[in-house]
Chains A and B, each alone.
Chain A
Amino acid sequence: MTGLEARADMIVCEGVKKWFGDFQALRGIDMTVEEREVVVVLGPSGSGKSTLIRCINRLEVHQEGRIIVDGVELTNDLRNIEKIRSEVGMVFQQFNLFPHLTIMDNITLAPIWVRKKPREEAETLAMELLDRVGIPEQADKYPGQLSGGQQQRVAIARALAMEPRVMLFDEPTSALDPEMIKEVLDVMKELAQTGMTMIVVTHEMGFAREVADRIIFMESGEIVEEGTPEHFFTNPTEDRTKLFLSQIL
């Protein structure tokens, strides 16, 4: 990534503010994510990282500022929201697979009902994706029969089945047992290498250092510092960043 090639802006946030009652979770976020860029958002818990990416696909509603995804501004217009949501894939901390559907049905549900794909085509795609995340043999099982790591990989496949232009990851490894974290991170790395635009909220510093094009450090609802992994881990400028790094490294 040289940064010289001209790339379109995929996500633009301008002065995004968000309150939960009296508590201000986001205090004016300005951020731009380009096409094929991998951005890792770091920060202590309660700093507004999750809120930010949940605002990007309208799971939370921001009260001030503008969010523009792939040229479409997020407003209350339902059609806009559904269009953006089907182009922005999201992976949750708690997987949120549908427990009453098989793995195959979990993945094909949205392609069939939202994208109106023929079932056969949707199932072929689902098998390709399951292959990609390394668990094609689990297609006919139910989520409850899979391990946490496998469930999270299914969740990634489910999001990819909508052929999104952006993928959001909300602490995808935080609910996993330590020995399962790597299998999920490997899938995410592979995804980053294929040029997917990604915003990842995580506490995995190794992943951030290795995969991120850019790191954004947030605290108390503000972006404190941003830069390349090299700059961020070896030569941070802000005191708050230094403090955070000293606490976790």
Chain B
Amino acid sequence: MVVIKWISQVVVLILVVSGLLFFAAQAGSNLRAKNIETSWRFLSVKPGIQLGEGIDVNPSTGARALWVGMVNTIRVSAVGLILATILGTIIGVARLSKNWIVNKLSTTFIEIIRNVPLLVQILFWAVVIRTWSEVDFNLGPIHNWFMVSQKGIALPRIFPSTGFYQWMVVVLIGAYVGRRVYHQRETEREETGRETHALSTALGIVAVFAAVGLLIHPLFGFLGPIFTAIGDVLDAIPILVVQLLLSAAMVAAAGLWIKRFLDNLRTPAGLAKLTDDDIFRIIFAGFSALMGIVLVFVIWPGLSAWLIHSLRDFFHLLGDKFEWLRTGRPLDGERPRIVQTGRFPNFSTSGLVITKEFAALLFGVVLYTAAFIAEIVRAGILAVPKGQTEAAGALGLSRGLALRKVVLPQAMRVILPPMGNQYLNLVKNTSLAIAVGFADLVQVGQTLYNQTGRTLEVVAIWMGFYLGMSLLISVVVNFFNVRLRIVER
């Protein structure tokens, strides 16, 4: 019996691996037969395209162009996630309101938004923005502060300046001290029952550090040479050492996993008897570590060099941000301005300009996702039985305290998993940017493959990017999910 089990495991593994290899080979030969070959050369040559907006509108390589697209996607997603969460929560709570008007308004909003396709809504916003006024030299509502036109929305911008990183060091020290004081005060409150104002004290400490930091941050310029030196040291490490370290890390990870796995199986009566399945998992963990080592040394030898160079560049970059006694403001601000370079007046590069494409896409995904989040929030709050609020009230807890200590912790448990789904949807839905010509990853990718014909490669990059983003969000949401679950049971 044991032999059959083992053989079946191995046979299944071989079948799956050879199946995958077969399909890959088949696809490869089909493509070759049609004279389609995969080539990544387009990533390193100048694409000759102009992007609508982004960190670099004239990218020098294909890879750079895609990167600009990715940053744009991440930008609109990040802003969208925050706004959709806030708006959705407000509307969700409003839908539970006893005020008739508030209640009906939010219900109407949800029903309309949920039942119209997102693509239509994004196009709708693009049309709405087109009806806004043209850019001129006394554009309102508040000239040179907050301006709305059919080219987009312009706002003042605050950004890190020369002293920012030196100042941040002081602020981080302040945050650390504040954290310590906060915990100390919290413990004191719990032990003595006296109100110790933990949060306000901690925030005050951070504020004091931030203020003092404005004066003393040039002193922290001494960190600059240190970072540069670290970069130099990293650069001097031979590639072989890095490869050996990576291998050791993988062996250690596998060993740790096996140890924890065995610890979980251990009962007070001693180690339980391992089933074949358990043994297989242990072998599999070891095998994975081995494959990792093969990857580092054979399949992708460049990985180690890439890692070490990235780290070096990172520390050198950090080193440039610091300089002994370098003065300068940590933050700078600028207002939007209107300039005329061509035939028509336009926003200058100063200030934060939300382009019409970005705005249309953002309005679309935020409102759409907010409608779903509102329903999730409502469901989460309703999922907490009325008896819980009553019991908290009967104990003398104020409404706010009951909400914070009793209702929300229980509602969050219900809210979080579907909320994660909505976050994933929002990120994926930003690919509809193509409808309004916003330079997100999909739009840039499409332009790129129209010019180079490298469709397959671009699609692979798209898929990899969205998969990576989705996994990242899943990991974050799951982290909080697990934390809530541990709190509960």
Contact = CB atoms under 8 A, between A and B. Distances in A.
A142 B489 contact: yes
* Chain A CB within 10 A, most for which of B396, B409, B410: B396
A113 B387 contact: no
A99 B391 CA distance: 12
Interface stretch (A9-17, A87-95, A189-197, A229-237): A87-95
23 contacts: A59-B390, A59-B393, A59-B394, A82-B396, A85-B393, A85-B394, A85-B395, A85-B396, A90-B391, A94-B385, A94-B387, A98-B391, A99-B488, A100-B413, A109-B397, A110-B395, A113-B397, A113-B405, A114-B396, A114-B397, A118-B192, A118-B193, A158-B395
Contacts of A57: 394
Interface of B: 190-195, 385, 387-388, 390-398, 401, 405-406, 409-410, 413, 487-489
A100 B374 CA distance: 24
SS of B interface (majority): helix
Nearest to B195: A116
Interface of A: 57, 59, 78, 82-83, 85-86, 88-90, 92, 94, 96-100, 109-110, 112-114, 116-121, 142, 144, 158-159, 162
Nearest to A81: B393
* Chain A CB within 10 A, most for which of B193, B195, B413, B489: B193
Contacts of B398: 78, 82, 114
B394 A90 contact: yes
A50 B401 CA distance: 26
Contact of A92 (B192, B194, B195, B387): B387
A129 to B, nearest CB: 14
Nearest to B188: A118
A60 to B, nearest CB: 10
Given A109-B405, A113-B405, A142-B489, A159 B193 contact: no
Contacts of A99: 410, 488
B456 to A, nearest CB: 50
B193 A121 contact: yes
B394 A119 contact: no
A3 B416 CA distance: 58
A142 B489 CA distance: 7
Which 3 A-B residue pairs are closest in the complex by CB-CB distance? A86-B396, A96-B391, A110-B395
A144 B489 contact: yes
B387 A96 contact: yes
* Chain B CB within 10 A, most for which of A78, A90, A98: A98
B391 A92 contact: yes
B388 A98 contact: yes
A159 B392 CA distance: 10
